[in-house]
Structure 1
Amino acid sequence: QRDAKGQYLFDLLCHHLNLLEKDYFGIRFVDPDKQRHWLEFTKSVVKQMRAQPPFTMCFRVKFYPTDPAALKEEITRYLVFLQIKRDLYHGRLLCKTSDAALLAAYILQAEIGDYDPGKHPEGYSSKFQFFPKHSEKLERKIAEIHKSELSGQTPATSELNFLRKAQTLETYGVDPHPCKDVSGNAAFLAFTPFGFVVLQGNKRVHFIKWNEVTKMKFEGKTFYLYVSQKEEKKIVLTYFAPTPEACKHLWKCGIENQAFYKLEKSSQVRTVSSSNLFFKGSRFRYSGRVAKEVMESSAKIKRDPPEIHR
């Protein structure tokens, strides 16, 4: 359908996946300038694409569940597991070696089941790519945990344990936006279920809780985050995105994430302006449900769990 809206395509996909807890997910595409975008559900799909068909889009987690282990259905947990496994592989989920070994061992258990000396010769874990790069020592540690600690766990249990562990990490839910700080140093900005995060050199240098973020603005390539902390301390964090388009995308992601995680109900969502002058700049409104509503509606799901094709 030429004038089909984003919502139509998204619902079609969720129906195909037999997914009811769909509010955590979205559709991402990249424009010809290599800029990432989330498909807006209220607008026509074709009008959002600047490329020529066929269009390439990917279904991925957009809002990471605050507690993924508490998701109602196994199908949802499985899809979130796949996303975080991918985050680990692409180096977005940073963790210390012991955590990395445990997460990888859970993946191994979920994918190949119990260790079997007949089927799993020396170095068997090296056939799997869990991280951007890893050492033989880490591979041995992964195999050791898999052999000795995880025997008997079903794929669903291993995935659940993986989610429980991943959710405790500082970079859980990070979808990084490359920027520079005011000194010109490279930084990655991200929005997580718990707040706004800045990463520099694999370390979290800022963490601002959602209730401390008072507003987000952008002008050209400059992104401003207004923060109000205890003792009436007000600060403005300033970062520079590579392009105005990247800055706008960052701002929109921030607006959506704050609305999703912070608000009690979607009727509280307001249209926001990117500028202090309302008639100037971009205007944007989050169009979905908020986390609290999503969890309430998940609790009401009553159906036989769909079959999962791993």
Structure 2
Amino acid sequence: LQTHFDPYTMCFRVKFYPSEPMKIKEELTRYLLYLQLKRDIYHGRLLCPFAEAAYLGACIVQAELGDYDPEEHPSDYIRDFKLFPKQSLKLERKIIEIHKNELRGQCAAYAELNMLQRAHSLETYGVDPHPCKDFTGSTAFLGFTATGFVVFQGNKRIHLLKWNDVSKLKFEGKTFYVIGIQKEKKLVLTFHTSTPAACKHLWKCGVENQAFYKCAKSSQIKTVCSSNIFFKGSRFRYSGKVAKEVIEASSKIQREPPEVCRAQFGQSRSYNSLSHKNLIMNMEPLVPALPSPNEYEETATENGIHDLKVQYFHIYSFTVGKSDVRINPKRQESKHKQTHANGLLPQASGKSHGVSLV
């Protein structure tokens, strides 16, 4: 990075979550997805009921500590793990019970695989929540997954429109439209974002997710327009491999599996070393609702990052080259005059000059 605001901490994130993570060929790729899901759990993005939360937490503990040992693990050893936004004593006790009795003998790779298998079945798996208002003015969170377009209110999913049933995504100003078919009838869903820029970003995310998960070949993807042909609108075309091409290319990998260097226990639990509120605004939990634009501006001003030039990074994961993972950053600069829910902000302070994958 060439910038006048060093140092930065840059975090790589999974953009397109695989629909069947158990089929990922290389252990290294599965480990990177495991790290992402562990972060999603900690930030409240991957919502799960109590029983599922306890099992996922136990898998993480097994992967990082190994088998339970009464001589090494005191009664409160789970407190050293910051696994969930709200980590109750009841949840910690259940995690200990599962770690003791159900996961013994599992190596780190196997425990991580079990975690992926359980996590991918949850409704919020792979959801990057975009805050908005529905036609009644109620707060909703929109997301795009391997299955299709989803809408959440609170912790409840109220809409799931599969990609084959989504005929068009468009936006005009601050209004986002999803047009599709449900029960053989035309369906039009309307949502309102805080700014036109946030609406355009939401539309682009939807278009590229639909292209990635729905199309059989990247050569089939066409340029799409954001609105009616009689009005001037944004144009966008997804570039890169689609999911089916990634899976096919991954199955043809022939090489020695790369070595997996796992973070040590002390490193894995040091979440507070990164100020996620300053770094990635849309990493906040689905509930409670995200702060208002005024709160975002106040936060930005307090941290000395108001009206700075921001480096934006577009991260593509699970794009296959010579291995399962190839990350292709595309940089574009923008004058940061307002902060919205789906922007990347530089960390205001820090010591690391390298790249951090958390």
TM class by smaller structure: 0.7 to 0.9
Equivalent AA in structure 2 for residue 253 of structure 1: C
Question: Do the aligned partners of residues 242 and 56 (structure 1) sit closer, same or farther apart at CA in structure 2, a change above 3 Å counting?
Answer: farther
Q: How many residues align?
A: 261
Q: Distance in 1 between matches of 2:56 and 2:230?
A: 47
Partner amino acid, structure 2, of 1:182: F
1:121 and 2:74 are equivalent in the alignment? yes
Match of 1:255 among 201, 207, 212: 207
Structure 2 unaligned regions, length at least 5: 263-358
Please state how far the C-alpha of 1:141 moved relative to its aligned partner: 0.1
Q: Which amino acid in the other structure matches residue 131 of structure 2?
A: P
Task: Note the alpha carbon deviations across 1:95-144, whole angstroms, 9 max, x for none.
Answer: 11000000000000001110011110001111111111121001000000
Instruction: Give the counterpart of 2:195 among 219, 243, 264.
Output: 243
Supply the distance in 2 between the matched residues of 1:278 and 1:258 (Cα, whole angstroms).
24
- How far apart, in 2, do the equivalents of 1:230 and 1:207 lie? 13
| Superposition deviation, residue 229 in structure 1 | 2.5
Kindly provide the CA deviation profile for residues 52-74 of structure 1, in whole angstroms up to 9, marking residues without a partner as x. Answer: 65566431100000101111111
Distance 1:239 1:57 in 2: 32
The match for 2:96 is 143
CA drift of 1:82 comes to 0.5
Counterpart position of 1:30:
none
What are the ranges of 5 or more consecutive residues in structure 1 without an aligned counterpart?
A: 3-50
With normalisation by structure 1, the TM-score equals 0.82
1:61 counterpart SS class: coil
1:75 aligns with 2:17: no
Identify the residue that residue 63 of structure 2 maps to in structure 1: 110
114 and 179 in structure 1: CA distance in 2 versus 1, 3 angstrom threshold: same
Q: Distance in 1 between matches of 2:79 and 2:9?
A: 31
User: Aligned partner of 1:66: which letter?
Assistant: S
Alignment of 1:100 onto 2:53: yes
- 1:194 is aligned, of 147, 150, 155, to 147
The aligned residue for residue 214 of structure 1 is 167
TM-score, with structure 2 as normaliser: 0.71
Superposition pairs of residues 1-310 of structure 1, within 5 angstroms: 54=6, 57-231=10-184, 233-277=185-229, 280-310=232-262
Q: What do the CA deviations read for 1:195-224 (whole angstroms, capped 9, x no partner)?
A: 111110111011110101001001111100
Q: Structure 1 pair 52/276, CA: closer, same or farther in 2 (3 Å)?
A: farther
Q: Which has the higher contact order (CA 8 A, sep 6+)?
A: 2
Partner letter of residue 111 of structure 2? S
Which deviations, in whole Å up to 9, do the C-alpha atoms of 1:143-188 show, x marking residues without a partner? 0000111011000000000000001111111111111111111111
Letter in 1 for 2:187: I
Alpha-carbon separation, structure 1, partners of 2:231 and 2:244:
32
CA change 1:108–1:237 in 2 (3 A) is same
| Structure 1 residue matching 2:13: 3-state secondary structure | strand
C-alpha separation between the residues in 2 aligned to 1:256 and 1:76?
22
